Structure 1
């Protein structure tokens, strides 16, 4: 089921629309009848002020008619086209930072209704390397954002901070699948990210059409004891079931993802993150007089397409 805000928008749209419709079909004709009767009794000499009073819409109707087009447009836009999200954590660094505001393309995958999230139209499927927003399988009212690294039928291994993928072969495919391959990583020299006091290494990972950057904290061992245990596989190996996806964060040692709770059902997919439209910087100084949620700057250089 959708989040509370989506449900609220749909309810506001329905209520305001029904009030407008009820007024148009029932209340407005009655107001006109009263005006006609009053004009007949006054022999056509009814003052303009009285006519305006008789035709005046109730305040609730006036409010509904003013907000319905706006609320309906917002509901349609965020339900079927694009929905804005704010990045709340560092699990997708360096691709996405805390304070980034992004647009998620809802029609990139299956189009779903905004309340019950039942599929209305089957569209494209996620690809390796997509940054996707989905309903957290363990708490479906919460939205998560991670990178899709495993498609249905894929075999995934994450070992010693290295990703390996054995892509499933689809019908008619004879190359680029069926063999376990190491996803190439290239160390980037310019990096200033830290996990606590530990420096992080930044790599360019060759997954997807153009690749993307990831962070690895060499001083933090892989937390394999907390990994999701799948019957018949090694502790750091995962076989993606049909109708599911494997998603992990770009901040590999600071992300709770499919390695720890399992797979993302296709029905949980919300859309593909495609664009950063605003990015605020916040103070990390604990002695600052400003509240932590107050922006101290705008990172204009971050605005643009998400890799």
Structure 2
């Protein structure tokens, strides 16, 4: 007879049973730990708050973002409240403690960021001082990878001299001239046209989806539709690097080389305008000037070798997107993951029972 077995069974029977409250607490604790691991290492859910990626991704789309695609980034601010934004109550209360900061480290992934990927990342140009992984999340299309020479000519993007094709539903703005007849608001709504400006009774700037362009152009009260392109050589102070020596704008920009790990550049007035912020803010160096000499961490430097890879991100809605053209490079330590699936899509402009865009539910993102 197995006396040891009976003894163990008797011992288990004598162990006090957990209360219902304790069982609930254990279940909740397990769920929080499991979901935190899944959210940190596998995938997270995000919402599209703006129109910068239309018509590929729409305002009200809810996405699953793969952390495994590029390798999960380990928390740099490990002490935080799970499942909450970095601040609550209108930004007044932090949900993290920045007293403990860990160095950037990323697990091996299934691949690397490629041109054409829809990428979620922390906003590099955030003016509020907070840790990288606690900054606002952005989603844009990668159009330039480390080492690429990026250039925009008349609204078309080139990497290393090769055209980077727009996504099929990418949008831009047009100057529209009409007759004196008023435009039908219902028609504008049905064609999903965004009227950005009205300059006078017959002249508008509009963002017209590709699927609506031909139908809209065919109406008798439309006199002309012309794509809006800022002329080459016209300086826009809002555009990176915000220096009048670089007469770049949204539609004519560059050429500019994207930094990559191991790339060495000479340091002079021009390169410091283009790369100085990355060297100081993203690579954590102290940059000063001693007369004409450039000092990095107190030492005179004639060149600099980058420690990180960088990317160039742009929205698919080219004239309604704040992206790398405005604030420059995205460092690799800001990358969160790759947008994979639209699991839900809500159109808040519709009535309650028509708000769900069923054709976008569980839809792969391209």
The equivalent position to 1:251 in structure 2, one of 305, 310, 317, is 317
User: Is 2:19 the counterpart of 1:65?
Assistant: no
1:176 matched residue in structure 2 = none
* CA separation of 1:164 and 1:191: change in aligned 2, threshold 3 A: farther
User: Is 2:80 the counterpart of 1:129?
Assistant: no
1:200 matched residue in structure 2 = 207
Aligned positions, number: 224
2:149 matched residue in structure 1 = 155
1:305 matched residue in structure 2 = 364
Which structure features the higher share of helix residues?
1
| Equivalent residues in 2 for 1:46-195, closer than 5 Å | 57=19, 59=21, 61-114=22-75, 115=78, 116=102, 118-123=104-109, 124-139=111-126, 140=132, 141-166=135-160, 180-184=161-165, 192-195=192-195
Gaps of 5+ in 1: 1-31, 37-50, 167-179, 205-216, 285-289
* CA separation of 1:296 and 1:191: change in aligned 2, threshold 3 A: closer
CA contact (8 A) 1:226 1:260 kept: yes
Residues 97-130 of structure 1, C-alpha deviations (whole Å, 9 max, x = no match): 1110011011101222243583242322100100
Secondary structure class of the residue paired with 2:147: coil
What's the RMSD between the two structures over aligned residues?
Answer: 3.5
- TM-fit CA distance, 1:151: 0.4
**Distance (whole Å) between structure 1 residues aligned to residue 117 and residue 167 of structure 2:** 19
2:258 matched residue in structure 1 = 240
**Distance (whole Å) between structure 1 residues aligned to residue 146 and residue 338 of structure 2:** 17
Residues 185-211 of structure 1, C-alpha deviations (whole Å, 9 max, x = no match): 69989964324253324469xxxxxxx
Secondary structure class of the residue paired with 1:111: coil
Secondary structure class of the residue paired with 1:277: strand
**Distance (whole Å) between structure 2 residues aligned to residue 220 and residue 296 of structure 1:** 37
* CA separation of 1:101 and 1:261: change in aligned 2, threshold 3 A: same
**Distance (whole Å) between structure 2 residues aligned to residue 195 and residue 66 of structure 1:** 51
TM-score of the pair, normalised by structure 2: 0.53
Residues 44-89 of structure 1, C-alpha deviations (whole Å, 9 max, x = no match): xxxxxxx97xx66595x54531211211221111111111101000
The equivalent position to 1:271 in structure 2, one of 309, 332, 337, is 337
CA contact (8 A) 1:110 1:119 kept: no
Secondary structure class of the residue paired with 1:66: helix
TM-score of the pair, normalised by structure 1: 0.63
- TM-fit CA distance, 1:299: 0.5
- Judge which range, 141-150 or 62-71, deviates more: 62-71
Gaps of 5+ in 2: 1-10, 79-101, 127-131, 172-189, 198-204, 212-225, 261-308
* CA separation of 1:187 and 1:152: change in aligned 2, threshold 3 A: closer
